[in-house]
Amino acid sequence: MIKHKVVIIGSTGSIGEQALEVISHHSERFQVVGLGAGRNVKRLVEQARQFRPRAVAIGEQSHYPHLRQQAGSVETVAGEEGLCYLASLEEADLVLVAVSGAVGILPTTTAIKAGKTIALANKETLVAAGDLVMKLAGVHGVAIIPVDSEHSAIFQCIRDEGKYLKNIWLTASGGPFRDYRPQELSAVTADMALQHPNWNMGKKITIDSATLMNKGLEVIEAHHLFGVDYDRIRVVIHRQSIIHSMVEFIDGAFIAHLGVPDMRIPIQYALTYPERWDSPALSLNPVAAGQLQFEEPDTSRFPALELAFAAGKKGGTLPAVMNAANEEAVNCFLRGRIGFLEIPEKVARVMELHRVINHPDLRQILEADAWARECFKSQL
Ligand code: NDP
Ligand code: MG
C-alpha cells in the first residue's frame, strides 16, 4: 500500500496532536516524515520516538541545544529556516500547517513552492497573505485543503458547483460569553475565556472565539479559499456547533455540513482528500443533538467581527495589521495585562494608525505585521 507522507508543522499543539491521533488510527497508510514545534522539546522528542520522522524542527532557536541533545539520531533543525526546511522535505507529499499565528506564512509559501499539497489549519496565514498564498498555489498547481471545520464544511458542500454559489453561511458557536451583558464582558478573565463551551483548542484561538475575532478571521479565510466577495459571506450564531457551515446556491438550495464537533473529522478529511476513510470520532445522533438554533451575531458586544469585515474589504496590508495587532492583544490579555474589551479596542486603534499599502508583496506584508506589533506595544 502506498503511504501518505506527511509533515506536521505545529505538531505539539491541539491540531497537531489530533492529527497524530488520526495518523495513529491509520498507521499502515501514513508515514510521518517531519515534525515541527515552537518550544515544547519534551513533547516533540516523545513524538519523534513514536513516529520516527526523518527530521524534527524547533521554531525557537534557544531551545535547539536541548533538542539536539535529546533527539538521538533524528535530523534536527531550528528557527524559521528549520521550519521551512521541514516544509520542503523531498519525501513529503503533504504539509499540515498547524502553527498558531502569522509565523505560518513562510513555511506555507515554502511548502507551496516545493509543490506539496497543503492541509491548512493556520488561518492567520490566509488572513495576512491570502492573495499571495492563493496566487502562489495556483502558479505551482498546489491544492490547499482547509482544516478549519467551517471551511472544510464549505469545501465539501461546494464541490464543483462554485459557479452556482450565492452565499456562504459561516456558523459560529458564539463563544463562552455569547449571553453576557456588556458590563459583564468588561470583567471577564483569561481563565473564564479559556473555557470554550463546544471545542477544546489552543489558547489563542479560544480567546479569538470568545471575542468573535476567530469568526472574523474565518470570513477573510473563506474569501480567499473560495474566491467569494465579502458581501456574500454571512455569519450566523449556531450554539450547538452541529452544522459546521452552509452554502446557498442561486436556485434557493442550501447545503449544510453536519457532524459532532470533533476536529479529527476535518483534519482527517484534509489528510485523505479526495478519499474518505473511517474515523475514530463518534458519529452524530441527530435525535440526541436536539434543537438547532440560529441567531444574528451581536457586533455591538463583539465588534471584532466587524473589524475583520472592514479589514478584509479594504485589503492590502490591513488584514495583516489587524491579525498581528490581535495576536499581540490576545497575548496581553492572557497575561492579564489588558481587559477583554480592550482587545478589539486596541486592534481598532492600530488599524486606524496604519497607512495601507495596496497589492503588497511578501516583504511588505511581513513589515506591516512587524509594524503592527510595535504600534500595539506603544499603545499599552
Ligand atoms: P496550539 O496553540 O494548540 O498549537 C500551536 C502549535 O504551533 C504548537 O505545536 C506550537 O509549538 C507551535 N508553534 C507556536 N509557535 C511556533 C513557532 N514560532 N515555530 C514553530 N512552531 C510554533 O494551536 P491550535 O492547534 O489550537 O491552532 C493551530 C492553528 O489551527 C491556528 O491557526 C488555529 O486558528 C487553527 N485552528 C485550530 C482549531 C482547533 O481546534 N485547535 C480549529 C480550527 C483552526 P509549542 O507547543 O512547542 O509551543
Ligand atoms: Mg473554525
Domain ranges of the chain: 4-146, 151-299, 315-380
Locate the ligand 1 atom nearest the alpha carbon of residue 217 and give its number. Answer: 34
User: What distances in angstroms separate CA 29 from CA 93, 185, 279, one per listed residue?
Assistant: 13, 47, 13
Q: What is the pTM of this model?
A: 0.98
Q: Say which CATH class 315-380 falls into.
A: mainly alpha
Q: What is the pLDDT of residue 1?
A: 79
Closest C-alpha residue for ligand 1 atom 42: 148
The rounded Å distance from CA 357 to ligand 1 centre is: 28
Q: How many CB atoms lie within 10 A of CB 203?
A: 17
Locate the ligand 1 atom nearest the alpha carbon of residue 200 and give its number. Answer: 40
The residues, any chain, with a CB within 8 Å of residue 150's CB and separated by 6 or more, are: 170, 171, 218, 222, 244, 245
Q: Is-contact 11 35, C-beta < 8 A?
A: yes
CATH of domain 4-146: 3.40.50.720
From first to last of its 380 residues, what are the pLDDT tens digits of the chain?
789 999 999 999 999 999 999 999 999 999 999 999 999 999 999 999 999 999 999 999 999 999 999 999 999 999 999 999 999 999 999 999 999 999 999 999 999 999 999 999 999 999 999 999 999 999 999 999 999 999 999 999 999 999 999 999 999 999 999 999 999 999 999 999 998 777 779 999 999 999 999 999 999 999 999 999 999 999 999 999 999 999 999 999 999 999 999 999 999 999 999 999 999 899 999 999 999 999 999 999 999 999 999 999 999 999 999 999 999 999 999 999 999 999 999 999 999 999 999 999 999 999 999 999 999 999 98
Closest C-alpha residue for ligand 1 atom 36: 121
Closest C-alpha residue for ligand 1 atom 13: 38
Selection from 81, 88, 80 nearest residue 113 by Cα:
88
The rounded Å distance from CA 13 to ligand 1 centre is: 5
* Ligand 1 neighbourhood includes 20 CB (under 6 angstroms): no
Q: What is the pLDDT of residue 273?
A: 97
Q: What is the pLDDT of residue 348?
A: 98
Strand order in the sheet with 4-9: 75-78, 55-58, 30-37, 4-9, 94-97, 117-120, 144-146
- pLDDT digit string (tens) for 86-124? 999 999 999 999 999 999 999 999 999 999 999 999 999
**Omega prior to 274 cis, within 30 of 0:** yes
116 Cα distance to chain centroid: 18
Q: How many CB atoms lie within 10 A of CB 2?
A: 7
Q: What is the pLDDT of residue 200?
A: 79
Q: Which helix (H) or strand (E) holds 208?
A: helix 203-211
Q: What is the pLDDT of residue 197?
A: 73
* Ligand 1 neighbourhood includes 86 CB (under 6 angstroms): no
* Ligand 1 neighbourhood includes 121 CB (under 6 angstroms): yes
